[in-house]
């Protein structure tokens, strides 16, 4: 079969042919319909997160996939050949961007039936991370004001929608080219980060969800109201700096959770939109990876075997 693989830290991935995988006890072989690329895939390949996610090469890229159950390993119950499923693999195992993937049966959830199976892969990390930010960490409530950085990105686009659903007032930083997109998702206000310092455009914010980091994290403290919360996705924030100003800061370390993912799938079956930047064939997966690495993708980049 074909797969997109890293061969060493710092190298671009390559599409190559590898033996078809065989499911072991408790595992399922899935024919991949779509695999979603994530910023974490870029960090893993670059070697930036070796401390948290040590990997062995060659490594098939990707954690997020949707597809059809092709074969069951011994001892697997609750699933049948032909079931459509969604899963997020362990980042150290990868395996998503390929024709087939072997995954633990316990990591599977039924795929939504109201959207294409390939695009459903876009839910596995991005939408589940957004759920964790909005409902589990921030516990966002109606009437609160939330600032979402990079609102047109994979996670940001879902945060906007989930915040809208609870009745929050949503402000987001985006390029002018993406402003209309995020308004349709539910953003009440947009700030063009290419020309405006967001600190001059918004204040008295209850929650900031930051998927950018760096100077954006530091400047975000200036717009929070006393006792406000910064939720940082890229790296642990400066907790002491926030506390010194009477603010709270939390690091969102996303871990796969089938219960959370099941909730996200249920919402996707109702009115949760997956913003798809592009769907590309597996043969062009390297170009898709490079596009995501450039940092300007609007929503999810999906690879379709």
User: Which token pair is 34?
Assistant: 């779509």
pLDDT digits (tens, 9 = 90+) for 269-290: 888 999 999 999 999 999 999 9
Q: Are residues 13 and 90 in the same domain?
A: yes
pLDDT digits (tens, 9 = 90+) for 202-225: 999 999 999 999 999 999 999 999
Q: Are residues 166 and 79 in the same domain?
A: no
Q: Is residue 256 assigned to a domain? A: no
pTM for the complete prediction?
0.95
**Among candidate residues 220, 236, 251, the one where a domain is terminated:** 251
Q: Is residue 64 assigned to a domain? A: yes
Q: Are residues 133 and 247 in the same domain?
A: yes
Q: Which residues constitute the domain of residue 47? A: 2-123+274-304
Q: Is residue 268 assigned to a domain? A: no
Average pLDDT in the chain: 97
Report helix angle 39-46 to 285-293, nearest 10: 90
Number of structural domains found in the chain = 2
Q: Are residues 104 and 20 in the same domain?
A: yes
Q: Are residues 130 and 112 in the same domain?
A: no
| Burial group, residue 215, by CB count within 10 angstroms (0-12, 13-18, 19+) | exposed
pLDDT digits (tens, 9 = 90+) for 131-170: 999 999 999 999 999 999 999 999 999 999 999 999 999 9
Q: Are residues 154 and 90 in the same domain?
A: no
Q: Are residues 167 and 197 in the same domain?
A: yes
Using CA atoms, how far residue 184 sits from 63, 203, 213, in Å, is: 28, 23, 25
Query: What CATH number is associated with residue 166?
Result: 3.40.50.720
Q: Are residues 30 and 111 in the same domain?
A: yes
- Separation between Cα atoms, residue 52 and residue 203, nearest integer Å: 35
DSSP 257: -
Q: Are residues 113 and 14 in the same domain?
A: yes
Q: Are residues 63 and 134 in the same domain?
A: no
What is the DSSP code string of 12-61? PPEEEE-PPP---TTEEEEEEEEEEE-HHHHHHHHTTTTTT----SSEE-
- Indicate the pairing of strand 100-104 with strand 189-192: unpaired
Q: Are residues 12 and 57 in the same domain?
A: yes
Q: Is residue 263 assigned to a domain? A: no
What phi and psi, each to the nearest 5 degrees, are found at residue 120? -60, -25
Q: Is residue 212 assigned to a domain? A: yes
pLDDT digits (tens, 9 = 90+) for 165-188: 999 999 999 999 999 999 999 999
Q: Decide if 97 contacts 61 (C-beta within 8 A).
A: yes
Q: Are residues 150 and 239 in the same domain?
A: yes
Mean pLDDT of 8-27: 97
């Amino acid at each position: 079969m074909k797969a997109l693989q890293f061969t060493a830290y710092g190298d671009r991935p390559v599409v190559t042919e590898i033996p078809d995988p065989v499911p072991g006890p408790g595992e399922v072989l899935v024919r991949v319909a779509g695999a979603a690329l994530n910023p974490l895939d870029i960090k893993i390949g670059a070697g930036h997160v070796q401390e948290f996610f040590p990997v062995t090469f060659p490594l098939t890229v990707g954690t997020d996939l949707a597809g059809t159950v092709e074969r069951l390993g011994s001892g697997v119950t609750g699933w049948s050949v032909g079931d459509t499923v969604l899963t997020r693999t362990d980042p150290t195992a990868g395996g998503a961007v390929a024709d087939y993937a072997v995954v633990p049966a316990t990591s599977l959830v039924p795929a939504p039936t109201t959207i294409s199976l390939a695009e459903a892969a876009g839910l596995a990390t991005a939408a589940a991370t957004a759920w964790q930010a909005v409902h589990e960490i921030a516990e966002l409530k109606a009437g609160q004001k939330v600032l979402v950085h990079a609102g047109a990105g994979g996670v940001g686009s879902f945060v906007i929608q989930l915040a809208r659903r609870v009745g929050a007032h949503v402000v987001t930083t985006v390029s002018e080219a993406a402003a209309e997109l995020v308004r349709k998702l539910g953003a009440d206000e947009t700030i063009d980060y290419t020309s405006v310092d967001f600190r001059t455009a918004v204040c008295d914010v209850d929650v900031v969800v930051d998927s950018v980091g760096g100077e954006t994290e530091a400047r975000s403290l200036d717009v929070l109201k006393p006792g406000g919360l910064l939720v940082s996705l890229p790296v642990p924030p400066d907790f002491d700096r926030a506390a010194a100003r009477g603010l709270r800061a939390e690091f969102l370390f996303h871990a796969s959770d089938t219960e959370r993912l099941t909730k996200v799938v249920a919402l996707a079956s109702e009115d949760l939109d997956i913003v798809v930047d592009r769907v590309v064939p597996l043969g062009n997966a390297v170009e898709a990876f490079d596009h995501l690495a450039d940092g300007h993708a609007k929503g999810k980049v999906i690879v379709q075997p």
